[in-house]
Structure formats: C-alpha cells, structure tokens
C-alpha cells in the first residue's frame, strides 16, 4: 500500500477502532499529533509504534515542535525557545547564533526521533515584519539574509538527527496582520517585493535539498486571487518551476478559515490537489476526512508518493542512549545559557 494525500489527527493518547479503520485507508498517508495525544515519552512512543505498525510503508507521524508557543510535547522533552531568540543572538554574535540554532534543531529532532516521530513542521521561514500576531516570535528575524542563515542551520541540525525539514509558510506569512486560522489574509505586495525578501530564505534551503514545504493560506492579490495553498501559480509556476523545488508540498490545515473559500472539505481537498499539493492535513474534522475519503475514490499520484516517502525518519537513538550522550547534554547546556522556561536571557 502506498502513502495517500491525507494527513489526519487523533482524539486521544491511544488508537480507537475508528482511528485504525481510517488510518488503514489508502488515501491516508500520515498522522499529525497534538498535545492531546501526548502524556509522556513512553506513551507517545507506544502510540507512534501502533501508528507505524498499521501499514507498509509506514504512515508518517508528524508534529509542530518549533519551540516557544508552538511546542506540542513538553513534559519529558527539552523546552525550546521561540525562533526570535536565535535571531537576537545572531545580531550580537552571528557565529554563536548559527551554532545554537543548529544545536537546538538537532536536539528537537533527536528527541522526537527517539520517540520515532518522523517530522516536525519546522523551520518557520516567515519574515517578522512586526504585524502578524500568529507569526510574531515564531520568526527568526525580519531580515531575509538572517532568516536564511538560521534556517539553514535549522535544516542541517534536523538532518543530522535523522529528520527532514519542512520550511513554512511559503511564500511568506509575516507581512499580513490576519490569522489564517480565523480568516483569509490578503497580502497586496507586488511579486518583485516578495521575491526580493520573503522567498530568499526558501531559495537558500532549496539549494540544500530541502525535503518539504508547507504553504500559506494567504492570498497574494497582485499574483493570484486564490490563497497560495490552493494556487498552481504559486506551487507549480513559482515554487517548482522558477525555484526548482522537487520536494513534498504540504497544504496548511484544510480546516482553517483561510481555506474555507474553496468550499466544503471535498472541494478544498480537490482544489489543493489540483494546485499541486502532495499532502493535505485535515485537523479536528473527522467528518471532513471521511467525506474526502468517500469522494476521492482511487486517487493516486506516484510522484507524490515518492516525495512523501523521503520524509520517513532515519537513524535514531533510544531515549536512554540519547540522554547518555555527550552531545545531548552539551546542546541542553548551550540552550540554558540563553533560555529558561519562557524567559529570554538576552538583553533587549
């Protein structure tokens, strides 16, 4: 059985009979995990083992574990700072900023791989223009060169831990005030401005064989009337065509209001696939998942399946081996110089 285009969620910390039935369907290719699915590392490892044991090839197990506000697993994992910390450190000492970003990315990915999680949706490559509350400190910096430098280190740290990076939110969510979870933001800037600034970090990581990108539910009104997540102009012409990206394209969550203009869940899914997305997360909407499964029939895209198969996690240490390693201790000590809980240890 191959990996299908749907990424679905779960209600709790164990698989239910309905979960098993849904995850066995060939149109499903992955599971996105949330805080409600996590009690501790042992429980999560057992849950992921159950998910992976359902199918061959294994379903992808994914999570948002950026750090800061967006870290789904906390108890038993290292608390990670928001990306802004690395940008601030980079301003003071570029070498130290790059080094800490690589260590933090390795630490995040190594801890997830020790629980057999395949993907963390990171790094965020949006630029912090100071207007987006939903991005805010999730961004490394406003300067595209700085974001590209730190994003590069994040990709390399994740890769060193056996995890592929997923850069988001293409082509850039940082210049709009609205939250695409609640509405459809509109960015009125011309394409040349977006290319000169927002696309630069993505171009940097694509040259490093970036494995995946997540699209933004944002309309860039001078380029296309559709949100980028549902736009062939952005996915096929710009990202794949001009920029030469060959990895997997994730739509952002189809249950977000930013995708609602495309219609019901079936219409949203069809629009995202037609635009060139390889994987469609549908969160907190099991009825929508079932409707899509009933509608898409025997949908198969062999190229998408190949792109998604590249995202399976690679080598990993057990939690015991990881915690005994000098590198894990060194990475945690390095982070503790600058961050404690939710407190920055940098001068403002």
Q: Which residues are catalytic?
A: 181, 252
Strand locations in 134-233, DSSP E? 166-170, 186-187, 212-215, 219-220
- In the chain, the N- to C-terminal Cα span, in Å, equals 53
Residues 6+ apart with CB under 8 A from 177: 131, 132, 133, 185
290 burial type by CB count under 10 A (0-12 exposed, 13-18 middle, 19+ buried): middle
φ, ψ of residue 18 in degrees (nearest 5):
-65, -40
Q: How far apart are CA 32 and CA 38, in angstroms?
A: 12
φ, ψ of residue 70 in degrees (nearest 5):
-115, 75
Q: How far apart are CA 180 and CA 220, in angstroms?
A: 13
| Beta strand pairing call for 65-67 and 70-71 | antiparallel
């Amino acid at each position: 059985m191959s990996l299908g285009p749907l990424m679905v969620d779960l209600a709790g910390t164990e698989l239910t009979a309905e979960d098993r039935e849904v995850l066995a369907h060939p149109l499903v290719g992955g599971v996105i995990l949330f805080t409600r699915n996590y009690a501790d590392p042992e429980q999560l490892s057992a849950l992921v083992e159950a998910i992976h044991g359902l199918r061959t090839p294994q379903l992808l197990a994914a999570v948002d574990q950026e750090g800061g506000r967006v870290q789904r697993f906390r108890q038993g994992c290292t608390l990670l700072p928001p990306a802004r910390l690395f940008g601030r450190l980079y301003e003071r000492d570029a070498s130290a900023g790059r080094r800490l970003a690589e260590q933090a990315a390795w630490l995040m990915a190594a801890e997830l791989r020790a629980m057999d999680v395949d993907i963390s949706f990171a790094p965020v490559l949006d630029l912090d223009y100071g207007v987006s509350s939903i991005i805010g400190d999730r961004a490394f910096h406003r300067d595209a060169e700085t974001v590209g430098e730190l994003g590069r280190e994040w990709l390399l740290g994740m890769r060193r831990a056996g995890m592929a990076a997923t850069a988001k939110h293409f082509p850039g969510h940082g210049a709009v005030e609205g939250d695409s979870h609640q509405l459809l933001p509109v960015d009125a800037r011309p394409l040349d401005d977006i290319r000169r600034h927002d696309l630069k970090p993505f171009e940097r990581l694509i040259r490093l064989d970036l494995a995946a990108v997540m699209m933004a539910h944002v309309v860039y009104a001078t380029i296309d009337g559709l949100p980028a997540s549902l736009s062939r102009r952005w996915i096929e012409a710009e990202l794949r065509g001009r920029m030469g990206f060959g990895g997997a394209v994730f739509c952002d969550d189809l249950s977000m209001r930013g995708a609602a203009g495309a219609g019901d869940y079936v219409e949203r899914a069809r629009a995202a696939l037609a635009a060139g997305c390889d994987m469609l997360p549908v969160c907190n909407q099991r009825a929508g998942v079932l409707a899509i499964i009933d509608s898409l029939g025997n949908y198969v895209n062999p190229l998408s399946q190949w792109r998604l198969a590249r995202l399976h996690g690679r080598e990993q240490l057990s939690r015991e081996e990881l915690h005994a390693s000098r590198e894990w201790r060194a990475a945690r000590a390095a982070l503790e110089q600058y961050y404690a809980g939710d407190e920055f240890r940098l001068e403002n």
